[in-house]
Structure 1
Amino acid sequence: MNIPPDTVRRPRTLAIGLVDALSQRIREGRLQADDKLPTEAEIMREFGVSRTVVREAISKLQAAGLVRTRHGVGTFVVGLVDAPAFRIDPEQLATVRDVIAVLELRISLETEAAALAALRRNDENLTVMRESLAAFSAAVEQDGDSVAHDFAFHLEIARATQNPHFADLMGYVGTTLIPRARVNTARAAHTDRREYLRRVNAEHENIYNAIADGDPESARAAMRTHLSNSRDRLRRAQPASLGA
């Protein structure tokens, strides 16, 4: 089960490869609940990686709820049944590539939420959305922090679906969903911060107008355009060596 050396070039990729290999053993039952993982030295020899890579992989497995470490004893398999519910931890949003991955998730989730919101929104939903956009615009012009207002707008769209699961998921993940809460998106897109945020809020206005008009197809398209633009701006900013 050695990881071919020519498939990985960066330590972070090596760690992910090791996580995948150990996770597969757990899924296939070769490592079962309460089994003790091999020692760091044994994993290093088998996979041909450094101690740093092993420790990073173990840390990711712990974050996923697949293993737990008993200090002075070793690391043990928790098993798939006891794994926690879906979550996105801050350490999973450390790079531009990580943020792009979350944007891809948001595209699939929020485009449908926008369409449902156009069909089901009420006056209160529209008022909160309008207030969020006004607060966003004011923050931009005053060089303030617009992340909370950005999130409030998207959260209200989720609430406007009248399906609590959309709002629960958005609320659970929180402002980590907003790219510039994790990376400097204006700098990554090589543009002035205020100009960048004005463009973002213009896209928000298009979403709002479609929802207010009760037009689900236009709302879906406007949300997809907004999130796809954010993703594509970051993709263009990525170093070519990191790929898309």
Structure 2
Amino acid sequence: MRTTRSQELVDSIVELIDRRQLRPGDPLPPEPRLMEEFGVARNSVREALRTLQALGIVEIRHGYGTFVGEASMAALSPSLLFRTRARSRDDLRGLSDLLEVRQILETELTRRVVGDGKLLSALGECVDRMVDPATAPAADRRFHELIGEAAGNELALELIRLFWDVYRQTESHVGAPTSQPEGLVAKHQEILEAIAAADPRAIGEAVSRHFDEIRQRIAAG
């Protein structure tokens, strides 16, 4: 029952933020006002605010008050990382699930950005930087971020970044990449060409092949 009441208070504070149309950086009512509004004790309010802080929904600034946070997807990283690592000890299914979700997301986003000349140029620059092993990881990440940005979906872009970070931290479960730098370049060049051709089927196949090596490493693990 306590857990249910705690969650109800968390939900009520979120509803208050929405109802009052508060934006990131706006102050929340002080604790006494929240206690009065929801008819709860100070400890209950503080517990709810700590929960919301962990989710990035509020920011507690000691000595100043509580403010609406950015609610970044980065707040989910520890939970997703734990889930992925815990399952990886058994059959690597956690990584496999993560890869599948990422492929579904990136395939759809990539199909939305065809015909964008400025994007093609920026993606081409990323591919060029992948030739150098020293700049390849950052260029690889930026390649996918550019597609997410061009698709115009901020939530999807945050998920791409989240999946990327979590995968990099769990990659040790499947060992080091087996392909050479030219293989990385070729895979991304294929995606680039499929976007330029505005071919949804080719895009799907290119994105799928992009993840083939990781799939093989997971299967071998």
TM-score, structure 1 as length reference: 0.52
Number of the residue aligned with 1:226: 210
Distance 1:198 1:22 in 2: 53
Contact map agreement 1:189 1:233 (CA 8 A) in 2? yes
- Note the residue ranges of structure 2 that are not aligned, 5 or more in a row: 17-28, 36-41, 86-93
Give the RMSD, CA atoms, in angstroms: 4.8
- Of residues 192, 197, 213, the one that matches 1:208 is 192
Number of the residue aligned with 2:169: 183
SS of match in other structure, 1:153: helix
User: Which amino acid is 1:97 matched to?
Assistant: T
Distance 1:184 1:223 in 2: 21
- Note the residue ranges of structure 1 that are not aligned, 5 or more in a row: 3-17, 44-56, 238-244
Distance 1:61 1:235 in 2: 38
Matched, 1:116 2:116: no
Matched, 1:27 2:11: yes
Shift of 1:154: 1.3
Distance 1:235 1:224 in 2: 16
Contact map agreement 1:151 1:174 (CA 8 A) in 2? no
Contact map agreement 1:111 1:223 (CA 8 A) in 2? yes
Of 100-109 and 210-219, deviating more is 100-109
Change (3 A) 1:183 1:90: same
Change (3 A) 1:21 1:61: farther
Change (3 A) 1:129 1:66: closer
Distance 1:61 1:204 in 2: 39
Shift of 1:71: 6.8
User: Which amino acid is 2:84 matched to?
Assistant: R
Number of the residue aligned with 1:217: 201
Written as runs of structure 1 = structure 2, the 5 A alignment for 1:1-244 is 1=1, 22-23=6-7, 26-27=10-11, 34-35=34-35, 36-38=42-44, 61-65=52-56, 84-89=70-75, 91-92=77-78, 94-95=81-82, 97=84, 100=95, 103=99, 106-118=102-114, 120-122=115-117, 124-139=118-133, 144-159=134-149, 161=150, 163=151, 165-166=152-153, 170=157, 176-179=162-165, 182-183=168-169, 185=171, 187-191=172-176, 193=177, 195=179, 199-227=183-211, 230=214, 233=217, 237=221
Distance 2:81 2:56 in 1: 20
Contact map agreement 1:95 1:183 (CA 8 A) in 2? no
Shift of 1:231: 6.7
SS of match in other structure, 1:117: coil
Change (3 A) 1:220 1:155: same
- Cα distance per residue 1:193-225 (max 9 Å; x no partner): 462765554432332221122212221343245
User: Which amino acid is 1:62 matched to?
Assistant: Q
Change (3 A) 1:167 1:126: farther
Distance 1:69 1:125 in 2: 39
Contact map agreement 2:191 2:207 (CA 8 A) in 1? yes
User: Which amino acid is 1:190 matched to?
Assistant: G
